[in-house]
Amino acid sequence: MTFDDAAILAELDDLRRADAPTHGGRVLSYVYDSGMPELDELAAQASRRMQSVNGLDPTTFTSVAALEREVVAFARDILGGDEGVVGSVTSGGTESCLLAVRTARDLWRAAGGIGTPRIVAPVTAHAAFRKAAELFELAFDPVPVSPETGTVEPSAIIERLGPDVALVVVSAPSYPFAAMDPIAPVAAACAASGISCHVDACIGGWILPFWPDAAARPGWDLRVPGVTSLSADLHKYGYAPKGVSVPLHRGRDRHRAQYFATTDWPGYPVVNPTLLGSKSAGALAAAWAIIRALGVEGFAQLAGRAARATAALQAAVAGIEGCGWSEPRPARCSRWRPTSRCRRSAASTRTTGPIRRALPGGCSRATRTRAGRRHPSSAYDASDRDAGDRVGAARAGAGARRRRGCRARHPVGRSRRRARGDAGRHARAA
């Protein structure tokens, strides 16, 4: 069999040219660029070496067990775990969150829980927990946050605890506002009530331990009594390729509840520590290689660079007339000022839509890049809709709603009148 590999790869390159750039710091939320090409190349080489490996059975591919053991051990060390903390490697933050919810639900049932269990979490908890509640038949009980700061009062969570609560979720930090939830008092209340408490550190897990003010920060990781599980994504500030995450559990019995195992079929014995069966080991190998290359010192250097860039960005935005930033500032959002609609939504227990639209991940689709062109995901031709491309129309409509919901002021300067005009045109086209 012959094929034209050059033509195939050229076609792939053409497709990639329509994507947002993955390097240079121009895309927020989706991509975490270390700024080290040599690290990217190391990760690519490590992933290539594991390309044909199936992570389904580490007794057949023992390299998978060895790599996972070292990645989990490093995560445990930087996240305050002791020898009793164990974990797995998953395909990403969503899978880690799903496993945390399923584990807590099954332990709640094993302890005598009857009926539909609840997940109690701030309204800013990642949407993956809502997905988990839907998939595993729990009720999601969202707690309002401050519309000014994105933070939640400990008492607002604690007063909702009860015998039907299977899990409380707190974030370090929250994905929408980068606000640190009050983990220590909530975890203590959970421990007193015998309720599982999960810390979602998908964003902060691989950078907060190395942040310049880490020593002065209130407890948030596995050193906090009452925290029963924690998840952290290596494809964010661990700089690994998508997707790889680590859920950690306090105790082997809790970790064992995460597993699925059966011999009740004619095939081989199935033992799955995560949701996936057959899976690639490429991202695992890349994460392992990056950990080996950087170590604690390297991660600390990259965190210091990010901290300096954050301070410079905050100073620049604070100097923009009319920016109106208040303290404490949402650390990950450089161009946000809440409108009255945003404030109402932040206090709501039913939706976080407008909140999400006020974030870098949301604004990046609705605002212009430094080059002056709109992000491809929000720019579309009206003929697409006529041709049946409803995805393009939906994205454009979302971009218009983001503009109406939050006054995103880009650093290069676009007047509000022009922003409203653009929003109107897109809304009419949608």
- The DSSP line for 138-156 is -EEEEE---TTT----HHH
Pair 272, 387 in one domain: no
Domain presence at residue 296? no
Domain presence at residue 4: no
Contact 172, 183 (CB under 8 A): yes
Name which residue leads in pLDDT, 176 or 407: 176
The answer to the question of residue 226 being in a domain is yes
**What does the pLDDT look like over 256-284, one tens digit per residue?**
999 999 999 999 899 999 999 999 999 99
What's the domain range around 177? 46-288
Q: Is the pLDDT of residue 418 over 60?
A: no
> Is there a single domain that holds both residue 267 and residue 341?
no
Look up residue 109 and give its amino acid. R
Is residue 53, in this structure, part of any structural domain at all?
yes
Same domain for 61 and 129?
yes
Phi, psi of 398, rounded to the nearest 5 degrees: -65, -40
Q: CATH no. for residue 93? A: 3.40.640.10
Average pLDDT rounded to a whole number, residues 334-347: 41
Same domain, 157 and 251: yes
Asked whether residue 260 falls in the same domain as residue 115, the answer is: yes
| pLDDT for res 27 | 86
Question: Both 340 and 280 in a single domain?
Answer: no
Do both 102 and 232 map to the same domain? yes
Each residue of 309-321: pLDDT tens digit?
A: 999 988 999 889 8
In the predicted structure, residue 378 carries a pLDDT above the cut 70: no
Q: Has residue 319 been placed in a domain?
A: no
User: What's the domain count of the chain?
Assistant: 2
- pLDDT score for 399: 53
- Per residue in 96-142, pLDDT (tens digit) is 999 999 999 999 999 999 999 999 999 999 999 999 999 999 999 99
52 and 141 inside one domain: yes
Sign of the Cα torsion 311, 313, 318, 323 reads negative
pLDDT value of residue 357: 31
Position 34 in a domain? no
In a domain, 2, yes or no: no
The pLDDT confidence band at residue 29, using thresholds 50, 70 and 90, is confident
**Domain final residue, candidates 232, 259, 288:** 288
- How much is the pLDDT for 213? 86
Structure letter (DSSP) for residue 251:
S
- What global pTM score does this model have? 0.76
Q: 355 and 277 in one domain?
A: no
Domain boundary among 264, 288, 312: 288
Chain-centroid distance, C-alpha 67: 23
pLDDT over threshold 90, residue 302: yes
Q: Give the pLDDT band (50/70/90) at residue 397.
A: low
Give the pLDDT confidence score for residue 82 in this predicted structure: 95
Q: Give the per-residue pLDDT at 379.
A: 32
